[in-house]
Structure 1
Amino acid sequence: MNITDPEQDPPLVLIVDDEKFTRLQLRLAMEQVGYRIVETSDGEQALFAYTQMQPDIVLLDALMPKMDGFTCSRQLKMLPGGDRTPILMITALEDQESVDRAFAAGATDYITKPIHWAVLRQRVYRLLQASRATEKLRQQTERARVSEERLRLALDAAHMGTWDWDLLNHKIRYSGTAAANIGIADNGVIETYESFLESVHPEDRQALKQIIAAAIAQQTDYEVEFRVIWADGSIHWIAAKGQVYYDETGTAIRMTGIDMDITDRKHSEAELQRQTLRSQLFADITFKIRRSLHIEEILQTTVTEVQKLLQCDRVVLFQLFSSGSGKVVKEEVVPGCAAIVGRNLYDPCFQQKYLDKYIRGHIGCVADIYNSDIKHCYIDFLKQFQVVANLVVPIFIKEKLWGLLIAHQCNAPRQWSTFEVELLQQLSDQIGIALAQAQLLEDETRQRQELTRANAELQQFASVASHDLQEPLRKIQAFGNRLKATYGDVLNEQGRDYLERMQNAAQRMQVLIDDLLTLSRIATRAQPFSPVNLTQVAQEVLSDLEILIQQTNGHVMLGELPTIDADAIQMRQLLQNLIGNALKFHQPDQVPIVKIYSKEFEDWQSQNSEEWLDTKLCEIIIEDNGIGFEEKYLDRIFNVFQRLHNRSEYEGTGMGLAICRKIAERHGGSITATSKPMAGAKFIVKLPIKHNRGD
């Protein structure tokens, strides 16, 4: 979907984020709708890029090294044109203090992570629309001002639009332009002072008389702006300048001057004031609506603030059901107007075609239900709620119609202004965004609760495995040992074979339970992350595996490994499993050779990069010359209880690599492997070097 204006250059978006992957995602999201992109990785680069490129909007990450988004936003606003450039702050911070700080730093709006891309594109589109409209209005106002100055100079030079007032006879002679300005059609018309005052708007008449009297009495220039009413009833603004002349006795005898029609300029100024007021009201109400992430608070704040803004009798939020009926979920109503909150309503006229209109964004605006073309059944429906006039705007959540924001006037008809309609439409967009974010928070909270419950169940399982399963197993092992020691000589060969099998099975069960406990405790008994020297950990692991190395005549080459933020115990488990496997799965006719080394690099494609202080990663590589495997089994070998070889060939429970994968994922990393049968294997563990969290 392309939402750029084909008659204008595509908007230029400055993306400022220290994470390459986030910048890529933002670039793709903006380029999909036809925007041009400039991107930088920190605040200082952003300031330089802004002065060079003059972007139309800035997407600014709040938390960055060197210069954070708040500081960058304040400095951007001080650059030429920066006060008119919208800034959309992108942050993972949702607390009230951070929101206040973002707006205080000059942000026009903010959006929280994780980013909903459709919401982001619409937010950017709306901000660009508002910015372009404001800039266009500012340019119009500036052009009107320049035009007025030129006209003033032309009139002063050519004496056009002049008038001459004989103060002794109270007669005024106008030039053609001057006469036309105050609504007199003929040139050279002579009018009286009283008839001139009759053309002045009644609200300005007394003030104008006082200004004229003061100019005559104090011998000062006459300069004023006032309204006149033409014969057709239209109202126009006039700017007039004059000079008084006196005789030798000091008596005022004459005033001459010029006038001009400044109606267009006044309309532009009024429109700019309305636009500024609307922007301020929109920002204030949007802030109040979105400072909470609780749906109930959002809905109640909406009806309260809209009712105060419009000064109407009732404002309701009506949630629609698929059947076309709905429920009034929130309401703000003045005394004397019936309350309808909580009621399930069904409008018999609200058929599918009306529902389809609202799905397409239709806005219902009725100034007087009794003098309109709406159906009688709808009039009867509204009468029961005392409604005389209404304004209905749809609310969408993720492009799906959620319900309606409705304003009612109960005591009299009401003509809804364009300003009110547009403002309510913009507010409905913000309500939809706020509700979507609140729903995301509720979903996240529910998922977190489910994860907590799952972890509790896992911990309970670990407790059962640790106590209830191991206790009978210890008895089997103990009595098996006693049976062998006491009656081993008495048993025949078959009996001793049965006993040996039983003890072997009990031993495998013990190893299996230990591995299951290890897997479960990766999350339930994890230690906080701290700097871990992987070289030292690997050396300790090799010391523990000394007997296995001697038994296999293995040769292990250990390179320099980095120091990373990790759980030291789990790093030890990870390396011990991988190195142990490399020694265990060796070819019978070859001496096992194991190489352990690392690489460091930056990975902007990582999905978890927002959890790291920087994007630096390391790869820990364990390479061997063992039996290898078919790579088509790559996914299988990291699953629980999965084995590629018989237990008679190689011991184990099939859980070692599953434990390795869970440890890697818990550290924000991953594990994979490359191999060919009888050509060795290379296991690659990718881990972040730094974390900004303590778990």
Structure 2
Amino acid sequence: MNRKYRTILIVDDCLEDRETYRRYLLQDVNYKYTILEAELGAEGLILWQQYQPDGILLDYCLPDIDGLEFLVQLQAQKQSKYLPVVIVTGQGDESLAVQVMKAGASDYLIKRRVTPEELRLAMNSVIEKAKLHGKLQKSEERLKLALESAVMGTWEWNIENNNLICSDFITQIFDLPDGSCLSNYQSLLELVHPDDREALNQSIITAIATGKKYQTEFRVLRLDGAVNWVEARGKVYYDIMAQPTHLVGTFMDISKSKQAELEKQQHFCKERLVNQISQQVSKSLDLEKILNTTVDEVRQFLQCDRVIIFRFQLDGNGQVITESVTSDWDVILGSEIYDPCFDLGWAEEYKRGRIRYIENIYTSNLAQCHIDLLAKFQVKANLVVPILQGENLWGLLIAHQCSASRQWQQVEVDLLQILVTQVGIAIQQSTLFKQLEIELTERKHAQQEQQRLLTLEAAARTEAERANRMKDEFLAVLSHELRSPLNPILGWATVLLKNRNLDATKTTQALKIIERNAKLQVQLIEDLLDVSRILHGKFNLAAKPVNLVDVISSALETVRLAAEVKAISLKFIILNPSSNSNHKGMEIVNSATGLWDIESEIKSLKYNVLGDASRLQQIFWNLLSNAVKFTPHGGAVEVKLEPLGDFFKIIVTDTGKGISPEFLPHVFEYFRQADSATTRKFGGLGLGLAIVRQLVELHGGNIQVESTGEEQGATFTVMLTRIPENFDGNKTENKVKLPTNYFNLKGVQILVVDDDEDSLNFIKFVLEEDGAIVTAVASAFEALKILSDLKPDILVSDIGMPGMDGYALLRQIRAWQAEAGGEIPAVALTAYAGEIDKIQALAVGFQAYLTKPIEPETLVTVVAELAEGRV
């Protein structure tokens, strides 16, 4: 194994220490050492001059000079800036270490702590660094000669202390003032064009990180405003520990080659752009597309801030019809522009095709009106080329430089002149094409209009057929639902009329059947009227505090008999509103007696909402009657009343036939039924749930339905808003009605007017049964004759009558004097059940309004209230 030779100079006044260091070094099997020793600093400097050792091991405290002075004198003798010196001191002071390192020492060790390995490692490191710096210095010298011949500038960056050393040519390349220099890396970056600064910095950072050479190009802004192009090359150098120490590079001014390259590229771009526009003009008749392409391509070629096409009239007025602009400047597309300077000779120049360019609007001897116009659009320099259509001036192609003044090049002017010729051809072609296009469009529109009318006719026919089909289906269902209860009504009525010998039981059964089916018809009609009121926005609610426990209990009682017939279990679960706990509520199951007894403790709690009690009961009656109707024998129906924050949640669940997934989205639609066939098992018009949804929403709530499928039952969930515990129910207007048996019509004279004989006799019978003295007439004319003599207490009149209706009758009566009967209390009695009918009746002077069919109790109550003066 060949061992390398090294010469080491040990400068230390302690013989024992010198012997220790000698022994440590000689233990290194990789090198053969020649050891030079000196007790004094001056002696050591002489030995350095004589032998030029590879490295120095220097004691800081010497009898004649200290380590700092030794380093200063050694630096003066040594041509290289790097000193291969390791300082050894008995002091562990960090500030001292910093001083000696700044003075040029390469490493620092503390006596009595030095191990053989540390000493050898330190000496090897500084010697290798010294060799590296020696090679670097020679390389720099050779490079300097090469750069001087190639007119390049060199720079060296000490990465460790951020010092920058530049050659003289750097000043020339960067156009630095005389006497100035670059001191650090940051000062270099500040001279680079802002748009290129980050790219240069990133190239150098990458070179430091990877160790690869870098090469890049960037721009420098000169003091005179010109731009220099610079090519940068360089390499990073590292120490033995692979830490970057220096970056050495060159800068070369490549502005001339860049200019030649730019001119070559401009020529190529010019040819390409002209060919592109020419091909587009020859292939396309879309003028807007051609103009947009032209301004975009011209702006890219000129690298200017804005390019526009200005379409104007000869009086100077015009509009910017096409624009390409960078994001830094205002968009002026569509701007209406009036040039007050247009008549100052330029109109004629433009008409002759003359190009005009301005390098600086403030130094080009322009009229002030022209300067003001250009400044308004941020323009500092512009290039204007007229666009001719044949011999007529059509518009202008204008390039704007907004960021600075600009010297326009001849190649740029030539390009725009060629392009506007192509644009003029495109305009001519487009004009001819538009004329043809108008003719074709008019013909096409006529054909489209004909087709549209045919399509509308077909759609109208289809819609009419669909409407007729739906009308026929609805009328068929309506006819079925009306005729079905009519059959038992007419049947049993005929039996009762013909057979006077029926026993009491059979007679009672027949009358109950007639009553039940008549009520079914009433309900069908009420549903239809409710739908009409809802659709016309005439549905009103008498809102008052209502206890949901009472409402739901009443609805349950209504369906109880039907549930018992099918052995269906009815369950009502009430949760405590103050605790939301199942444990503190109660559960009620229908008993044999059918009474829904609510514990007084529960009944005293407030389950109140603000609503119309009758309509709320209609909601839950409908849900419960459907649940019972669609639940098979032995099934179950459950109602759960649950407080939920500011709401009450009412859940109605059954174990019935369920709802198919296909029909589930249509459950709440009008006239929709899951089974509309003639073989269907369940009747109805398909209105109930649609009305329920509307009623719930009118109460400010919502309703949802869930079902996992047919034969899986269904769950309806109603959410209603709770009213506060301190809600003052006394502020709502309530009509307090006395029990029916309180009224006594004995001796009350009543005039009844109705053109329907059966209805007239029925009303007369009901009122006479309660003791009233009734006079019945079949027309309004008869009523007017009788009123002048009879002076009855109450008038009950039908609305719809031939000759004179009830409205006209009451208007005539109200025109009379009070002593003549003009203020007689009157009840409107009609089959017209719309909200508008009620409003009209009350408006003409009726105090009460009753719709047919009429419950006897209701009729007696209303007439009695009028007789008592309570209505």
TM-score after normalising by structure 1: 0.30
The higher radius of gyration belongs to 2
TM-score after normalising by structure 2: 0.25
Which structure has the higher relative contact order (CA within 8 Å, separation 6+)? 1
